[in-house]
Amino acid sequence: MLTPERMLVDLIRLNTVNPPGNETLVARYLKDVCDSAGIENEIIEGEQGRGNFFARLGPQNGEQRLLFLVHSDVVPVGEGWECDPFSGEMRGQLIYGRGARDCKGLLAAELYALLRLAAEQVPLQGTLLFAATADEEQGGRCGVRYLLDRCPQKLRADFAVNEGGEEPVVLGGQTFFFFQVGEKGTAWSRLQTRGKACHGSVPTLGENAVTKMATALHALTAYRAEIILIPEVRYLLQELGRAAGLDVSPYAPVAVETVDRLLDGLAAIDRDFAEGLRSMTRMTISPNVVQGGNKTNIVPDACTADIDIRLLPGEDEDYVRRALRDCIGDAADVDVDIFNYYPPTFSTADSPHYYLLEQVTAQVAGREITCLPHISPGATDSRFLRDAGIPCYGIGHMIPELDREGRATIHGKNERIDIPSLHLKADFLYALARAYL
């Protein structure tokens, strides 16, 4: 049987950078592998070349249904790589290449678990579904969204496992594994300022839309969003702070007034990790694209700024509009348009499915661990499943002592994953399917 690392190398060598995607390359590879193993499967294209792959193991109408979800597209590579990003090069225990961590490593692990169950002829009482979908990196139009519109029954499950979990950390000698139970929503917004054009040599005859925008953006950078601690995040911070030896009382929960002090303490240990946690406690606003003016000697009469805004559960479009207006005021010459909105999504951690995830993780990790729920600042395809009524949990299972710097290579150069962590993912998924089905 193919090993997880062999399949990952094969998958990395299939260029599925999105755009354009070309995910059918991966779908055909998966079909060949599953055909050889006698596993029922099919390919459904959302568009030409945008293949979604499905496989099923166990009875067609099993009482219980578990879905392994993963996406097969990857982001562009950029400059500065030390190796060919589509080589799947092995250096010791590391496999390099675009998608190694996001998300072809998980794809190889899920596929291996499926193949192992089939090879061992495990008598499943329920149905294991495997879906490798297209277009996650560009919003899922040809992938999960297309499938939920056209053939939702193919994704229907009691619960799903997907990407999205934070990678494990060790604090105070205690090892923490994480499950993503929710995602912040998006409210990408566009500000537009208007002015009056004139010759740049006499600027006082006009009204400069760029300087108006600069005033609005300065106000946004000074904005301090309301801190909101949903119960899962409060519990997460409480446990991490205690393990790190910070001043966290076991008798009083983390409070709005003290959370930033706690996060600053965690940032002194691991800043990247702590800032991810901070974003789970408030709405974030980031002006990322500004366009105004078209010639140096013309005072611009229009300027736009695109703002990346991420919302917590309980916040919505009206909340965003109020926050922006509180910041920039009600000036008639600053228009606000929310052009890309998706609400926050959430799957409860108080469920038998979540408890099973914890139990299986403790079983395969081979150590005394603590599992914690969290919400993601970013978005995955899990949001679409949750909206369709399917609980979804993101994993990030890795061996925490190996290659901690590898986390920063996701969407960056020299993306990589270590082989022992790849096997840990595969062992977890195999054990989860056996335990549930």
Looking up tokens 């910041």 gives 327
In the predicted model, what is the mean pLDDT of residues 257-267? 93
Flag whether 395 is in a domain. Answer: yes
Are 260 and 316 part of one and the same domain?
Answer: yes
Question: Is 178 inside a domain boundary?
Answer: no
Task: Please state, in angstroms and rounded to a whole number, the distance separating the CA atoms of residues 304 and 181.
Answer: 35
Q: Which residue has the higher pLDDT, 222 or 426?
A: 426
431 pLDDT higher than 60? yes
* pTM, rounded to two decimals: 0.93
Q: Of 293, 322, 342, which one is at a domain's C-terminal end?
A: 342
Q: Are residues 330 and 379 both part of a single domain?
A: no
CA–CA separation, 411 and 77 (whole Å): 8
φ, ψ at 426 (rounded to 5°): -65, -40
| Angle value at C-alpha 122, between 117 and 126, nearest 5 degrees | 90
Boundary-marking domain end, from 342, 375, 397: 342
Handedness of CA 171, 175, 181, 182 (dihedral sign): positive
User: Average of pLDDT values for 358-371?
Assistant: 93
DSSP 172: T
Backbone phi, psi, residue 96, to 5°: -100, 145
Residues 256 and 376 in one domain: no
pLDDT the model gives residue 52:
98
* 219 and 283, same domain (yes or no): yes
> What's the rounded mean pLDDT across residues 189-200?
96
Q: Is the pLDDT at 50 greater than 60, yes or no? A: yes
Whole-angstrom distance, CA of residue 404 vs CA of residue 262: 22
pLDDT at residue 250 greater than cutoff 70 = no
Please tell me the predicted confidence (pLDDT) of residue 141: 96
Question: Does 216 score more than 70 pLDDT?
Answer: yes
Of 321, 342, 363, the position where a domain reaches its end is 342
In a domain, 422, yes or no: yes
Phi, psi of 68 (to 5 degrees): -95, 115
The pLDDT score that the predictor gives to residue 135 is 98
DSSP state for residue 362 in the 8-state scheme: H
Q: Could you give the 3-state DSSP secondary structure of residue 233? A: helix
Q: How many of the other CB atoms lie within 10 Å of CB of 202?
A: 9
Per DSSP, the three-state class of 334 is strand
Q: Round to whole Å and give the CA distance between 154 and 168.
A: 31
Q: Is residue 248 part of a domain?
A: yes
CATH number at residue 76: 3.40.630.10
Q: How confident is the model at residue 422 (pLDDT cuts 50, 70, 90)?
A: very high
What is the percentage of the chain residues whose pLDDT exceeds 70? 98
**What is the structure's pLDDT at 61?**
80
Residues 41 and 129 in one domain: yes
| Domain shared by 36 and 140, yes or no | yes
CA dihedral of residues 417, 49, 161, 241 (deg, nearest 10): 50
Number of domains the chain is built from: 2
18 lies in a domain?
Answer: yes
**DSSP class per residue in 246-304:** -S--SSS---TTTHHHHHHHHHTT-HHHHHHHHHTTB-EEEEEEEEE-S-TTB--SEEE
Based on the fold, state whether residues 112 and 216 are members of the same structural domain: no
Same domain, 323 and 373: no
pLDDT-derived band at 252 (thresholds 50, 70, 90) equals low
Model confidence at 249: pLDDT above 70: no
Verify that 204 and 162 share a domain, yes or no: no
Read off the pLDDT of residues 80-108 as tens digits, 9 standing for 90 and up.
999 999 999 999 999 999 999 999 999 99
Q: CA–CA separation, 426 vs 437, rounded Å?
A: 16
Query: Are 35 and 11 members of one domain?
Result: yes
- pLDDT for the residue numbered 407: 85
Residues 16 and 22: beta-carbon distance below 8 Å: yes
Would you say residue 177 lies in a domain? no
> The domain containing residue 196 runs over which residues?
185-342
> In this predicted model, what pLDDT tens digit does every residue of 264-315 receive, in sequence order?
999 999 998 999 999 999 999 999 999 999 999 999 999 999 999 999 999 9
Which pLDDT does position 11 carry in this prediction? 98
CATH number at residue 195: 3.30.70.360
Q: According to the model, what pLDDT value does residue 62 have?
A: 80
- Verify cis geometry, omega within 30 degrees of 0, for the bond prior to 19: yes
Please tell me whether residues 156 and 246 are part of one structural domain.
no
Nearest-CA neighbor of 17 among 98, 75, 80?
Answer: 75
Q: Has residue 320 been placed in a domain?
A: yes
Between 282 and 406, name the one with better pLDDT.
282
Residue 168's pLDDT band (cuts 50, 70, 90): very high
- The pLDDT value recorded for residue 401 is 85
Asked whether residue 180 is domain-assigned, the answer is no
96: alpha, beta or left, given left = phi > 0 and alpha = psi -120 to 50? Answer: beta
Q: 372 and 271, same structural domain? A: no
Tell me the average pLDDT across 375-384: 95
First vs last C-alpha separation in the chain: 22
pLDDT at 251 over 60: no
Q: Is the pLDDT of residue 37 over 90?
A: yes
Lowest mean pLDDT among 162-166, 225-229, 328-332, 342-346: 328-332
Residue 183 token pair: 């995602």
Catalytic amino acids? 73, 136
